[in-house]
A and B are shown apart, each in its own frame.
Chain A
Amino acid sequence: MQHVEIENVHKSFGSVEVIKGIDLSVAKGQFCALLGPSGCGKSTLLRMIAGLEAVSSGKVFVNGADVTNTHPAKRQIAMVFQSYALYPHMTVRQNISFSLDVAGRPKPEAAQRTEEVARILQLTDFLDRKPAQLSGGQRQRVAIGRALVRSPEVFLFDEPLSNLDAMLRVQMRFELAKLHEELATTMIYVTHDQIEAMTLASKIVVLDAGTISQVGTPLELYNQPANKFVAGFIGSPQMNFLKGRMETVAGREVRLELAGSGSVAILARGGVEDLKPGELEIGIRPEHIRPCNPGDAEANLSGRVELVEHLGNSTVLYVSTGSGRLVVQRSDDLSIRTGDTIGLAVDASRAHVFGADQRAI
Chain B
Amino acid sequence: MKPNRAGLVGLLYAMPALLFVAALVIYPLGQLFYTSLTSTSLLGGGKFIGLGNYEKAFNDSTFWSALGFTLKYTLFITPVLMGGGFLLALLTWQNTRLKQFTRGVIFMPWVIGLATSSLLWYWLFDHRVGPINKILVDLNLIEAPLAWFTDAELGLWAVIISVTWKVIGFGTILFVAAIQSIDGEITEASMIDGASYWQRVRRIILPLSTRSILLTTLISVVGSMVAFDQFYIMTQGGPKTDTFTSVYWMYQNSFIYFKLGYGSALAIILTVIIFIGAATQVALTRPRGTE
Binding site for B on A (CB under 8 A): 50-52, 71-73, 77-79, 81-83, 85-89, 98-99, 102-103, 130, 132-133, 146, 150
Contacts and interface: CB of A to CB of B under 8 A. Distances in A.
B18 to A, nearest CB: 36
B189 interface: yes
Contacts of A71: 191
A88 B291 contact: yes
Nearest to A47: B188
A244 B194 CA distance: 58
Interface residues of B, number: 19
Contacts of A132: 290-291
B185 A73 contact: no
Contact of A146 (B189, B203, B208): B189
Contact of A85 (B183, B208, B290): B183
Contact of B194 (A73, A82, A133): A73
B208 A79 contact: no
A103 B185 CA distance: 20
Given A77-B192, A150-B193, 15 more contacts: A52-B188, A72-B188, A73-B194, A79-B189, A81-B188, A81-B189, A85-B186, A85-B188, A87-B190, A89-B208, A102-B193, A102-B195, A102-B196, A103-B194, A132-B291
A348 B226 CA distance: 89
Contacts, number: 63
Contact of B191 (A73, A83, A87, A150): A73
Contacts of B183: 83, 85
Interface of B: 183, 185-186, 188-196, 199, 203-204, 207-208, 290-291
A227 B63 CA distance: 87
B135 to A, nearest CB: 41
A81 B190 CA distance: 12
B193 A98 contact: yes
A159 to B, nearest CB: 12
Nearest to A89: B207
Nearest to A143: B189
Contacts of A73: 191-195
B191 A72 contact: yes
Contacts of A81: 185, 188-189
A88 B194 CA distance: 18
22 contacts: A50-B192, A52-B188, A72-B191, A73-B191, A73-B193, A81-B185, A81-B189, A82-B185, A85-B185, A85-B188, A87-B189, A87-B204, A89-B208, A98-B190, A98-B193, A98-B195, A102-B194, A102-B196, A130-B291, A132-B290, A133-B290, A146-B193
Contact of A88 (B190, B191, B193, B208): B208
